[in-house]
């Protein structure tokens, strides 16, 4: 069953799209983007609610970073949960949104049956990014490197033409770091999506840079499924999870060999199989 709507939180219009049937699941991020990237097959097993956070709220011109504190973003998820009428649900977060999903599961542990984190590094510190730069230099094919260099040569001009679309422009031009098929054009996935750059510059540039995901991890009750792409060069390396995995009481890691930053989109059949197998006890 499909439905869509929105709620207001502190004058931010947060859209949601609900599609599918089965166990309830909330995917935080852009309602439009993520509704386009998860398979229709998965919707036969899960009732998926794709919800905006404030960075994707349409017509959002707010430049006050105090409105984008992580705890506030987490409480917006709770507001939307109540609107959707989900009592207990699967919490899903991809990339930086995985941190939002994790922090929600810590703060509202009785609401979350399972936590799914996708394509996230345990931190985005300068040290972690330096390891990412080293891996890019040592492990990546010349063709992938050349594709990125060509894309980045267009970056200043495209940003100057549409500074309000800087986040989306960066995502598109960083395709060789994001996709197994490094020539993939993701433009259609981002069509019609608005982005508040103040929010993304602050949350991705400062909050996620400094986050300690092990803080309050003892409050997390849900088992965790972590999906990673072998060719994901957009985030710091997967092996950094070795430094924190012992802090999780129940962590399952799956690495998808023909994926970059989006295994749910790049290898949908295998992703669905792995995820649903992990969820089998509640389906």
Instruction: Determine which one of 53, 94, 97, 261 is catalytic.
Output: 261
The one catalytic residue in 9, 30, 31, 95 is 95
Asked if 234 and 178 touch (Cβ cutoff 8 Å), the reply is yes
* Average pLDDT rounded to a whole number, residues 204-213: 95
Q: What is the pTM of this model?
A: 0.97
Instruction: Express as a percent the part of the chain with pLDDT over 90.
Output: 95
Can you give the residue ranges of every domain in the chain?
A: 3-127+191-278
Q: Which of 52, 76, 232, 272 is catalytic?
A: 232
Active site residue 95: yes
Active-site annotation holds for 185:
no
Please name which of 56, 57, 48, 122 lies closest in space to residue 91, comparing C-alpha atoms: 48
44/47 Cα distance (integer angstroms)? 8
- Cα separation, 90 vs 67, in Å, equals 26
Catalytic site residue 129? no
pLDDT digits (tens, 9 = 90+) for 224-238: 999 999 999 999 999
pLDDT for residue 28: 98
Cα atoms found within 13 Å of the Cα of residue 67, Cβ hemisphere only: 17
For domain 3-127+191-278, which architecture applies? Answer: 3-Layer(aba) Sandwich (3.40)
* 10-55: pLDDT as tens digits: 999 999 999 999 999 999 999 999 999 999 999 999 999 999 999 9
Give dist(CA 117, CA 62) in Å, integer.
28
**Rounded CA separation 162/179 (Å):** 24
Residue 252 forms beta bridges with which residues?
225
């Amino acid at each position: 069953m499909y439905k869509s709507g929105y709620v207001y939180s502190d004058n931010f219009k947060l859209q949601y799209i609900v599609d599918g049937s089965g166990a309830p699941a909330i995917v935080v991020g852009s309602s439009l983007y993520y509704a386009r990237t998860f398979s229709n097959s998965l919707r036969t097993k899960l009732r998926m609610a794709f919800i905006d956070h404030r960075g994707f709220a349409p017509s959002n011109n707010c430049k006050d970073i105090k409105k984008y504190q992580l705890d506030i973003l987490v409480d917006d998820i709770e507001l939307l949960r109540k609107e959707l009428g989900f009592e207990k649900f699967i919490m899903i977060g991809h990339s930086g949104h995985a941190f939002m999903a994790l922090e929600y599961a810590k703060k509202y542990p009785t609401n979350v049956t399972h936590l799914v984190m996708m394509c996230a590094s345990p931190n985005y510190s300068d040290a972690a990014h330096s390891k990412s730069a080293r891996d890019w230099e040592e492990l990546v094919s010349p063709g992938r490197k050349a594709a990125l260099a060509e894309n980045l040569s267009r970056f200043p001009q495209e940003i100057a033409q549409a500074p309000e679309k800087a986040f989306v422009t960066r995502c598109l031009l960083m395709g060789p770091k994001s996709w197994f098929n490094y020539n993939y054009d993701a433009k259609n996935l981002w069509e019609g999506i608005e982005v508040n750059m103040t929010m993304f510059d602050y949350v991705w540039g400062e909050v996620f840079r400094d986050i300690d995901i092990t803080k309050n991890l003892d409050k997390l009750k849900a088992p965790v499924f972590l999906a990673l792409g072998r060719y994901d060069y957009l985030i710091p390396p997967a092996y950094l999870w070795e430094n924190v995995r012992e802090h999780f009481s129940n962590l399952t890691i799956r690495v998808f060999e023909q994926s970059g930053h989006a295994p749910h989109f790049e290898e949908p059949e295998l992703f669905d199989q792995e995820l649903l197998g992990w969820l089998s006890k509640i389906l």
